[in-house]
Amino acid sequence: MARQSRPRVASEHKAGDKVFVDFAGQTVPIVDRATGEVLFDAQIFVAVLGASNYTYAQACRSQELPEWISAHSRMLDYFGGVPLVIVPDNLKAGVRHACFYEPDLNPTYHDWALHYGMTVLPARVRRPRDKAKVEAGVLLVERWILVRLRHHTFSSLAELDEEIRRLLDSLNQRPFQKLEGSRRSFFETIDRPALRPLPATRYDFAQWKKASVNIDYHVDVFGHYYSVPYKLERAKVDVRVTSDTVEIFHNGRRVSAHARGRKKGGFTTDPAHRPKSHQKYLEWTPSRMIRWGEQTGPRTAEMVQRILESRPHPEQGFRACLGLLRLGDRFTTPRLEAACARALLVGAVSYQSVKSILSTGLDQVPLEEQTALALPQNHEHVRGEQYYAAAAGES
């Protein structure tokens, strides 16, 4: 008895509803004309509108996230409008974890979709009919465009894209074999009127990263430090970074936003993020930091002084000294003083060195030559409190 196939409902796509996207299986080599060396294999991004079959294609350097997002933005520019839903395959750049019921989207891809007011509905795992539209589009692009370029040599993506666009326009204007009109005419009469307008600005590519808030209420983002409200000290946060801004989120709520700083080791601080009891931090000077270190002991004060001298930016030194002095709360002040003494003896002038000595208990091992720790007050590398007081304009 012949096996009966399961009945299927014909898939009819609404105007302006869905766009299907994927990368083609074929690639195009980009070649150094001088040496003949293949620099990389360009990936071909393909998109197809569900109702009209209007097709978009472009070359990308890779299938990585920045290329994936850029191709999506250029796709919408080509359409001149925004569909309601985008259906990607479960590509790693867009979908972190493929799940039948609730796929986990990459945060940047989700961010991009929010910017354009779109819903991302990844193709279901092991459901080929979900992506049949784009697979047919990919096959058409490979047969109509890529096969015509197989004997061409391209030395740049721009050069390749120019040829793809020329052939793409020809493909969309090509008459259907069994229907009246073309992809272009269907698009103009069916999809285009239903597309929503593009936003005023194109999406600004954003990277997301996880970070921890440091003890001075700042978050390290690519070597620059940004403040958050002081109550978030040591909290885990999510950071959204664009070319111009840095936004910091805690439990899904934005808690801080700054203009992006480019200086390595620099600080961008909102004074409102500090508690009133800590506002004196803004008035700290090197001499005050040294006097605070003296409350622990002379070797701790000397370590503070040496750290300040070694840093090109004052707040970098304040940050390290703050961490150093807080080690006294964790390990007791006598142990901190002993650890600073040992670190100075071996020339290890840093917060991390003192912390390592305390963590390993080396501060509790007797020093064989205590006298080696005594440095003369007029040592050439020790500037002294008077130097810092003068520099800060203190009397």
Q: Which residue has the tokens 């539209």?
A: 133
Task: Mark out the alpha helices in the chain (DSSP H runs).
Answer: 65-79, 107-116, 132-144, 157-173, 183-186, 286-294, 298-310, 314-331, 333-346, 351-360, 385-391
Q: Report the pLDDT value the prediction gives residue 264, as an integer from 0 to 100.
A: 84
Mean pLDDT of all residues in 146-162: 92
The residue that leads in pLDDT, 370 or 192, is 192
Q: Report the pLDDT value the prediction gives residue 165, as an integer from 0 to 100.
A: 95
What gap in Å lies between CA 210 and CA 237, rounded to an integer?
A: 6
Mean pLDDT of all residues in 258-283: 76
73-126 per-position pLDDT tens digit: 999 999 999 999 999 875 555 454 333 333 456 788 888 999 999 998 876 554
SS3 of residue 211 by DSSP: strand
Query: pLDDT category, 316, cuts 50, 70, 90?
Result: low
Question: Which residues, at least 6 apart from 378, have a Cβ–Cβ distance to it below 8 Å?
Answer: none
Q: Report the pLDDT value the prediction gives residue 155, as an integer from 0 to 100.
A: 92
342-360 per-position pLDDT tens digit: 999 988 999 999 999 999 9
pLDDT at 279 over 80: no
322-348 per-position pLDDT tens digit: 888 889 888 999 999 999 999 999 889
Q: Report the pLDDT value the prediction gives residue 91, as an integer from 0 to 100.
A: 55
Mean pLDDT of all residues in 172-178: 88
SS3 of residue 197 by DSSP: coil
pLDDT at 282 over 70: no
- Express as a percent the part of the chain with pLDDT over 70: 78
Q: Report the pLDDT value the prediction gives residue 271, as an integer from 0 to 100.
A: 83
301-312 per-position pLDDT tens digit: 999 988 888 865
What gap in Å lies between CA 162 and CA 112, rounded to an integer?
A: 26
Structure tokens at 208: 């997301």
Fold of 18-194: Nucleotidyltransferase; domain 5 (3.30.420)
Domain boundaries, the chain: 18-194, 207-276, 284-391
pLDDT at 296 over 80: yes
- Give which of 274, 362, 359, 361 is closest to 318, Cα–Cα: 274
The average confidence (pLDDT) of the chain is 82
4-26 per-position pLDDT tens digit: 444 333 347 889 999 999 999 89
Q: Please state whether beta strands 85-88 and 18-31 pair in parallel, antiparallel, or not at all (unpaired).
A: parallel
What gap in Å lies between CA 299 and CA 386, rounded to an integer?
A: 18
The region of weakest confidence among 29-33, 98-102, 168-172 is 98-102
The region of weakest confidence among 274-283, 287-296, 368-377 is 368-377
Bridge partner list, 267: 225
Q: Report the pLDDT value the prediction gives residue 115, as an integer from 0 to 100.
A: 94
Report yes or no on whether pTM surpasses 0.85: no
Bridge partner list, 18: 85
- Give which of 214, 210, 201, 222 is closest to 318, Cα–Cα: 214
The residue that leads in pLDDT, 4 or 260, is 260
